[in-house]
Amino acid sequence: MRHSSWSIVVRLAILLALAGLVLAFPWPAQAGTAERTVRVEARDYAFRPWRIEANTGDRLTIELASGDFVHGLHVEGYEVSLTAEPGQPASATFTADRPGTFRIRCSVPCGPLHPFMGGRLRVGPPVTFLRTLLLGFLAVVAGGLGFGRKARIAEDGGA
């Protein structure tokens, strides 16, 4: 059963269009912007809270307080960096104008598990995972629209 190249193009186009829709679908507008302050405690290779949440457009202040050593907090995407040690917290204020989920990493070596000390900043509605999950569904569909190629199963596997 061979598919014409036209039908392949059509299927691909539909899939890409759906993918675009998933990525760009505007989420309902949220409540208005605010001045938001979040105190993050860094201790034992963890940031608490792990995830900072804000609405798009909020004026966000992150205060970093350390509970054991000198730690850093670096927000990817926004390129905000802070360094703090016990007794000397630090803070930074910026406008969270770009929605999405951004990685937070510790930017000052603080022991062996330092490379895995991280957190998240989520700006806007919690849709990123949902979007990628839907894209995953589309990926399964895209792969599943296989071209019905028949192949023999060899009796004994491999070399």
Partner 1 sequence: MVLRRVTAEHLARLGLALVVVALPLGLAGAWVHAHTSQSATIVHARVSEDGGWLPGTLRARVEIPLQLQLVSDDVVHGFAIGRSGAPPVDLPPGQLVETTLTFSEPGTYTFYCTRWCGPAHWRMRGVIEVAGVQGQTASEPEPLYLSLGIDIDAPHPAAAVPALRPSASRAEALGVDLPEGNRSRQDFIRRSPAETWQSLRSDPSGAPLSDAQVWDLVARLWRSTTTAEALAEGRALYAQNCAACHGEAGAGDGVMASSVPPAGEALSVGAHLSGPADFTESSTLLGASSALLQGKILRGGMGTGMPYWGPILTEAQIWALTDYLWTFQFEE
Partner 2 sequence: MTRIDLGRIPVVRALLVSRGPQLVLQLAALAGLSLVIVSGLLGTPVGNRNPATVLVWIAWWAALMIVAVPLFGRLWCSICPLALPGEWLQRGAIHRPRGPGRGLSLRWPPRLRGMWTQNAAFVLVALFSLPVLTQPRLTAILLAGLVLLAIAISLVFERRTFCRYLCPVGGFIGLYSQAALLELRVRDPRVCAQHKTKTCYSGSTAGYGCPWMAFPASLKTNVSCGLCLECLRTCPLDNVAINLRPIGTDLQKPTRVGLDEAFKSLLLVGSALVYVLVLLGPWSNLRTAAASVGSMPWVTYSAGFLLVTLIALPGLFHLATRLGTPNGSPPLAGWGVFRAFAPALIPLGLGAWAAFSLGLVLANASTILPAISDPLGLGWDILGTSAAAWTPLGGSLGAWPMVVLVLAGLTWTSRRVRAVAEDLGGGVRMAVPVWGFSLLLASGFLWSFVA
Q: Give the footprint of partner 2 on this chain (CB under 8 A).
A: 44-46, 50-51, 74, 76-77, 79, 100-103, 105, 107, 109, 112-120, 128-129, 132-133, 135-137, 139-144, 146, 148-159
Rounded to the nearest whole angstrom, what is the least distance from the CB of residue 75 to partner 1 in the complex?
Answer: 20
Query: What residue 37 binds from partner 1, partner 2, none (CB within 5 to 8 A, per partner kind)?
Result: none
63: part of which helix (H) or strand (E)? strand 59-66
- Residue among 18 and 92 whose Cβ is closer to partner 1: 92
Contact set with partner 1 (CB under 8 A): 41, 43, 65-70, 85-89, 108-111
Phi first, then psi, for residue 78 (nearest 5°) are -90, -15
Torsion of CA 53, 57, 58, 62, to 10 degrees: 70
Rounded to the nearest whole angstrom, what is the least distance from the CB of residue 95 to partner 2 in the complex?
Answer: 17
Task: Find out whether 35 and 59 touch, Cβ atoms under 8 Å.
Answer: yes
**Nearest-angstrom CA–CA distance, 159 and 143:** 28
Rounded to the nearest whole angstrom, what is the least distance from the CB of residue 140 to partner 2 in the complex?
Answer: 4
Query: What residue 70 binds from partner 1, partner 2, none (CB within 5 to 8 A, per partner kind)?
Result: partner 1
**Nearest-angstrom CA–CA distance, 43 and 103:** 18
Rounded to the nearest whole angstrom, what is the least distance from the CB of residue 116 to partner 1 in the complex?
Answer: 16
- Residue among 44 and 97 whose Cβ is closer to partner 2: 44
Burial class (CB in 10 A: 0-12, 13-18, 19+), 145: middle
Task: Find out whether 117 and 144 touch, Cβ atoms under 8 Å.
Answer: no
